[in-house]
Structure formats: C-alpha cells, structure tokens
Amino acid sequence: MTSEFFFGHLNYWLFIILMMTGLYIVVAKGNLVKKIVGLNIFQTSVFMFYISIGNVTGGTAPIFPLDMKIDPDVIYSNPLPHVLILTAIVVGVATTALGLALIVRIREEFGTIEEDALLELEHEIARKVSDQHGEAMGGRHSGD
Amino acid sequence: MRHHLILRVVTKLLVGTIILFGLYVQFHGDFSPGGGFQAGVIIAVAFILYGVVFSLDQVQRVFPPWLVHKLVALGLLLYAGTGLFSFMRGFRYLDYAAFDPHHPSHGQHYGILLVEAGVGITVTGVMVAIYYAFAARTPVISDEEW
Amino acid sequence: MVLTALAVVRMRSLFAVVMLSGIFTLLSALLFVTMDAVDVAFTEAAVGAGITTVLMLGTLALTSRHERPTARSPLIPLFVVFVTGAALIYGTMDMPNFGDPTAPAQTHVGADYIARTPEEIDLPNMVTAVLASYRGYDTLGEVAVVFTAGIGVLLLISGLRRRRRKDEDNEGSA
C-alpha cells in the first residue's frame, strides 16, 4: 500500500465512516427523530461520495467565463454528479419532511416516538385483537 | 416572538432582500451558481422567516394557502407543458430547439428559463406548504421554554 | 465532521441533536465548495441549515424534546455496521485515486457534456445546462417527486385536522 494509494482513497474511507455513523444511529437508536437525523447524515455522506468522484485534480467549478471565451487549458470538474446531487438534496428534504410528518402523526396516535414503546403498544393491540377474535371463534365453537 | 423588537425590525428588512436574492438566483442561474431548486428554497425561506418571527396568520394573509397549493401544481404543469409544447411543434419531448428552430441555442435559453421557473415555483410551493402544515399544528410555546 | 456525527450519537437532548445536524450540513457545504461543486454547496446550505432545521424544530415542538435511553445492547448494530463498513471499504480498493483525471467517471458523458455545452446550449453554467436540458427528463421526475412528497405531507398533517373537526361536529350534533 503506497502513500499515494492511501491518500487517494482516504476521502472515500472517511465518507464511509460517516455513512456508517449514520447507519448506526438508524439501527441502534430508538427515537424516531434521531433516526431521521441519522438518515440525513447517511444521505449527506453519500452526496459527498458522489461529488468526490466527480472531482478532478487542478480542476475548477464547472462554469464557463461569462463572455463564453473558453480557455481550452482550464480543466473543469465533472458537472454530472453535481446535477444528480443537486436534485437529490431537494428531494431529500422533501422526503425528510414526509418522515417528520409521519412521526407527528405517530405521536398523536400513540403518544410516543420511541421505538420500544411503540412495539409494546403494537403487541398489546395485537393481543387485544386476538383475544376478541378468540372469543368470537370460541363462541361459535361452543354453539356447535 | 412578537415582543422581540430587534428581530421584528431586522426581519422586515431582510424578507424583501431575501426574496430579491432568490429571484436573482432564479434568473441569473444560467450564468452563475444557482437555479430553480436553490431559488425556490430561498424564496420559501423568506416566507418561513416571516412566519416564524411574526405569526402564521400574518404570513398567510400575504401568501394564502390556497395560492400555495395552486403554485405547487402550477410549477410541475409548467415543466411538463414546456415538454408538450415542443412535442406539438414536431420536436422531441423537452427538446427546447422548438422555441426557436432557426437558432437552436436561443431556443435552449428560453426552454431552460421556463423549465427552471417551473422548478422554482414547485419547490417554493412545496416548502411553504410543508411549513404551513407543520406550523398550523404547533402548540404555542412560550419563549422561556426554549 | 466525524466529531459532529459522533456527538449526535451520544446526545440525549434532541434539541442539541437538531442543532448539531445543522452544523453538520454547513460543514458539508464547505466541503462541497472545496470540491468545486458550488451549486451543490449553495443548495445544501440553503436547504440543510434552513428548511430542515426549521422542520425538525417544528416536529420537536409537536413531540418530545428528550430521548429515552434504550435498554437494548448496541452490540448487534455495531456488528452490522462494522461488517457493512468493511465491505464498502473493500469495495473502494479498486477505485481510482481521488481527483484522477483518467477515472472512468470523467471520461465518458461528463467530458462530453463539457465539450458540447458551449456550442449547443451556449450558457456559462454547465450545471444548469445539464440539469435542464441534457437531463431534462431526470429533473422532471425529481420535481414530480418533490410534488408528491409535498402532497403526502399535506395529506398526513393538514387533511386530517379537517376530518377530525368534522367528526367533533357530528358528535356535537348527535
């Protein structure tokens, strides 16, 4: 492993560490708002990964001079990842808003935004439902 | 936050400037960083700032919810309509050369301007609509609590 | 940035978490500027630091402001995270160096867009040219997604209030 290889790949590794931090928050934390924050961190590190792929050493931002006198020696960064990520950011905030709206509704319906408490509630509801159905079934059987 | 005098005065000064900057970003986006997405967000931020510092009622008097909801759809229709227009003129869908068949690059300028306007309108509308939806439910919190 | 992210993991106060995520976004916007992506940095700063923070604070006001500690052990998530991370890092071994001009990503459509924009579109900002013209379909789709998400939020939050009020009216009249 040469030092050139190491420093050439260090940025990817840092983004992966960030990505995994976000993933850890999503998987391990029970609070739904925190999960959304973790998802955002994950998302942002994927964006950075894309942009770093489009970067060119010695390049500049992909904007021509205003008078369109283009100097062929100037190297521009790849505009394609920029476009993809630009739209992804705005879509990302819209989906984040959707997730937050879901959280607000969950809180109104169940009074909590902790995953554990929600799971307990869900089990309770399932138990109640099965109790009711069990009685109904039992009643029919006894009628036979 | 009605009793914070400094915030209110500064907001009044800023809101206009932010909207102006948003329009600059929108229409100068062809020449410098910017475009419909950024402009939409910036203009929405101006309304959100106004709503946060003053009150939801006041911002909704300036920018009523029915108008916001119409704008959301209008932007997307403008974008899709641009495509249909070039379709009607016998070009491919979203081929902006249809706007000026003799100078394809001029046609591109018009097409990009229209499409970016569509993007900006939709993004502004969606962001403001989401803010209205959240703010309409927020219980009134006294400033000491924050 | 890694420090900010780790702080988010540890913090229990959700208010602080939201503020830290705003700082995280601003830092990432700076990073985008250094990687020549000015348009992206612009968007990230406006969206991440502005809209997302406001929305998250709005949600906190509607829900709770503190996180309850979980009883579950963090071992299994840690294991999952490490395995995934190792697999991804193994995947980067074959990638070209950072900023390599001969990387596959630079040599195909990217270079083509840069070469053709001056003649065909004649606009200085290549990002806008690619966004609105060469990739017009993509952007149309993205706008449709934003539109759908907005409608979804409206349906989830504001539509229901009206229904509930109607329900209460019915109850009152009944």
- Contact criterion met (CB < 8 Å) for C55 and A75: no
DSSP state of B139: P
Q: Which of C106, C31, C111 has the alpha carbon at shortest distance from A53?
A: C106
* pLDDT at C164 exceeding the cut of 70: no
- Looking at residue A69, its pLDDT comes to 66
- Looking at residue A120, its pLDDT comes to 83
Supply the CATH classification number for the domain A3-113.
Answer: 1.10.287.3510
d(CA A53, CA A49): 6
| Tens digits of residue pLDDT in C65-106 | 666 666 667 778 788 888 888 888 888 777 777 767 677 766
- ∠ CA C7-C13-C18 to the nearest 5 degrees? 65
- Contact criterion met (CB < 8 Å) for B33 and C38: yes
| Tens digits of residue pLDDT in A51-98 | 888 777 777 777 777 666 666 667 777 778 888 888 888 888 888 888
Q: Which of A10, A29, A39 is the mutation pick for testing C, counting most C CBs within 10 A?
A: A29
Amino acid letter for position C114 = I
- Looking at residue C105, its pLDDT comes to 67
Chain B contact present for A1, CB below 8 A: no
**Pair of tokens at residue B90:** 């016998």
Give C66's strand partners: C13
Task: Give the minimum alpha-carbon distance from C89 to chain B in angstroms, rounded to a whole number.
Answer: 33
- Looking at residue A127, its pLDDT comes to 85
d(CA A110, CA A122): 10
Report the chain B residue with the minimal C-alpha distance to residue A108.
B137
Q: Which residue has the higher pLDDT, B3 or A136?
A: B3
Report the mean per-residue pLDDT for chain B: 80
- Contact criterion met (CB < 8 Å) for C137 and B94: yes
Chain C contact present for A118, CB below 8 A: no
Chain B contact present for C146, CB below 8 A: yes
| Rounded (10°) CA dihedral B108, B109, B115, B117 | 180
For residues A99 and A39, the answer to whether their CB atoms sit within 8 Å is yes
Report the chain C residue with the minimal C-alpha distance to residue B105.
C121
- Looking at residue C69, its pLDDT comes to 67
| Tens digits of residue pLDDT in B56-72 | 888 888 888 888 888 88
Largest Cα span, chain C: 75
- Looking at residue B109, its pLDDT comes to 78
Give the CB-side neighbour count of residue A51, counting CA atoms within 13 A.
Answer: 31
**Pair of tokens at residue A32:** 């739904």
Report the chain B residue with the minimal C-alpha distance to residue A102.
B134
Instruction: State the pLDDT confidence band at C17, using cuts at 50, 70 and 90.
Output: confident
Q: Which chains touch C (3 or more CB pairs under 8 A)?
A: A, B
Give the CB-side neighbour count of residue A50, counting CA atoms within 13 A.
Answer: 19
Report the chain C residue with the minimal C-alpha distance to residue B134.
C58
B94: region left, alpha or beta (phi > 0 left; psi from -120 to 50 alpha): left
Amino acid letter for position B141 = I
* Strand, coil or helix: A11: helix
* pLDDT at C120 exceeding the cut of 80: no
DSSP one-letter string for C68-120: PPP-S-SHHHHHHHHHHHHHHHHHHTTSPPTT-TTSHHHHTHHHHHHHHHHHH
Residues 63-122 of C with CB under 8 A from B: 119-122
For residues C19 and C4, the answer to whether their CB atoms sit within 8 Å is no
* pLDDT at C174 exceeding the cut of 50: no
* Strand, coil or helix: A114: strand
Q: Measure CB to CB from residue C46 to each of B38, B109, B129 and give the nearest one.
A: B38
Chain B contact present for A84, CB below 8 A: no
- Contact criterion met (CB < 8 Å) for A101 and B134: yes
- Looking at residue A139, its pLDDT comes to 47
